[in-house]
Amino acid sequence: MPYFHDLEEKIRFMVLEVSRQLEDTLKILHDPLPARVDKVKLRDDRIDNYKSILENLCFSRIHGQSNLTKEKVDFIRAVNIISTNLERISDFSVNIVAQLDYLSRIEFLHAYNYPPFFEQISSALEQVVPGLFNKDLNRALNICRAEFMVDKLYKRSFDQIIEEMDSAAGKRDLITCLFIFRYLERMGDSLLNIGEAIIFSVFGEKLKVHQYQALVESLDSINNNIAIHDVGFESIWETRSGCRIGKIMDPSERSGRAVLFKEGKSRKIFREKENIEAWRKIFPSLVPRIYSYNQSGDNASMLLEFLQGCSLQETVLSQHRETLENTLFLLKETLSLVWSKTVKNTPVNAGFISQLIQRIDDVLMIHPEFNFSEVRIGSLATPSLDHVIKILSELENSLGASFSVFIHGDLNTNNIIYNQKEQQIYFVDLHRSCYGDYVQDVSVFLVSNYRKPVFDAGMRQAINHLNQEFFSFTRQFAAENGDLTYDARLALGLIRSFFTSTRFELNRDFALSMYQRALYLAEKLISHRNLPWKDFSMPADVFKYSRF
């Protein structure tokens, strides 16, 4: 790649300078000669300069050329990340040297085992250039591993210093030593960023080292013969809950067989795995197959069948009436089957208001004006938000469902996939599935449609129609199953979903329309609280969007 010649040359020089910086820092810790200290400070200026030059080169390359391939752009981005972190390592060297002024005598530091830190960091630095230029993932991993080793060394030194803090003498020296080790530990963090930047330049996707390792393990566990270099990884989305989801393409298959890689906290991934297994017993074709599951510490990963199709949300936004009608038809059929097949005579309370309470701080952080006090207009008093929630919590206790069914748990329109060719719908993102109140799924579904920030009249009409149809269908299911409190529970579910959805909506008017709907329903429920719940009627207009 002659085009990158200057970029390559500069990063090579920069790595060399930082390695020398580290060698000199180690020598200074043995023997702090003033001339050597000056050399480190001067070199830091040079390294800063390298960083600026590289930053300019990177940005001018990216912006100056319109025909750069993604691979080249990713390489440039990785170089920029690496140079930023190399400069940090040099800064930490200067910080370490500066700390020596606070030591009463250098021998104090010699009681601690600092050379292994330098060995780890230096040997990682040696791997940066070959790792980057040869797209060598093993070297990238070795660099990442150095951070782990440096952390271990730091822990040892830290524990030793803390223990010695109990003895009266030399506290100032002890704290200075601790600072020195802390800077070494931070060099390790910078190395991790460098290693991950190399992984990024290979994959073209930002993968944390533990995500990369999980991916390799997952692919290994399904006896996949593809070299990890050849795997196409396309990030699909990073969910709000922090799971990493990517689509992996097998280059050896012409049709481009894809699998879904999901990585996140093991508690959540494990729960999803269990739920998918439960779903497969109930309705096998509704959910993806699990190809592998791996757990490592607090994190876990899965390889899942990649389900072809488009989400119901995309279908609504495409405004293709026939496709929407087909999807809705299949959804109603599917839910009828699932609910009838899994119905149990076990009463259940969804705890909508408890769910709301858990998220209330997040809502008020974005919309503090939603926290209102009691309002009085003459003799008419409307309670404060706190009071409204308190009353709703009380009335919710007596408002459970008399039966339970197996629910999706997060039935928003993004989690329903429609495959037109197969005339099939699929459910995805199943970590919240359980035996529960189907009204949970109904309310999440209705509000997930409502909260789409689209204001085109035609599209809104389609959404209103979808909601109206879905509401009628579920209400009919309630009537057929003698569910007398359906309307009241749906009101609670909608209060919860409308209210908590505002935390993702910065358009004040749109957020307000959802918030006002939640309060309106709350007021209706509260004024009905001394009457039989079977007589409560859900105001159907509430999940229809109107322009005011």
Partner 1 sequence: MTREKKFSMETLQDRQTICKYLEALKDGFQNGRISLSNQDEILIVEPGGLIHFSIKARKKDDEIKLSINFRWEEQD
The site for partner 1 (CB under 8 A) is made up of: 372-380, 384, 512-513, 516-517, 519-520, 523-524, 527, 539, 547-548
What is the smallest separation between the CB atom of 497 and partner 1, expressed in angstroms? Answer: 16
- Kindly state the smallest distance separating residue 341's Cβ from partner 1, in Å: 38
Nearest approach in angstroms of CB 531 to partner 1 is 14
Look-up of token digits 């006002």: 516
Is the CB of 71 or the CB of 369 nearer to partner 1?
369
Which C-beta is closer to partner 1: that of 168 or that of 457? 457
Residue 521 C-beta: closest distance to partner 1, Å: 9
Residue partners of 387: CB distance under 8 A and separation at least 6:
374
Asked if 252 and 244 touch (Cβ cutoff 8 Å), the reply is: no
Give the three-class secondary structure for 41: helix
* Minimum distance from residue 512 beta carbon to partner 1 (Å): 8
38 vs 509, which CB is nearer to partner 1?
509
Nearer to partner 1, 226 or 459 (CB): 459
Nearest approach, Cβ of residue 547 and partner 1 (Å) = 6
**∠ CA 169-108-159, rounded to 5°:** 70
Around 172, how many Cα atoms within 13 Å sit in the side-chain half-sphere?
8
Q: Other CB atoms closer than 10 Å to residue 477's CB: what's the count?
A: 19
CA distance 501 to 543: 13
* Residue 300 falls in which region: left (phi positive, over 0), alpha (psi -120 to 50) or beta: beta
Closer to partner 1 by Cβ: residue 223 or 379: 379
Strands (E), 219-320: 232-238, 244-249, 258-265, 290-296, 299-305, 310-311
Q: Are 273 and 293 in contact (CB under 8 A)?
A: yes
> Between residues 378 and 482, which has the closer beta carbon with respect to partner 1?
378
- CB nearer to partner 1: give 5 or 547: 547
Shortest Cβ distance from residue 526 to partner 1 (Å)?
11
Is residue 376 within 8 A of residue 428, CB to CB? The reply is no
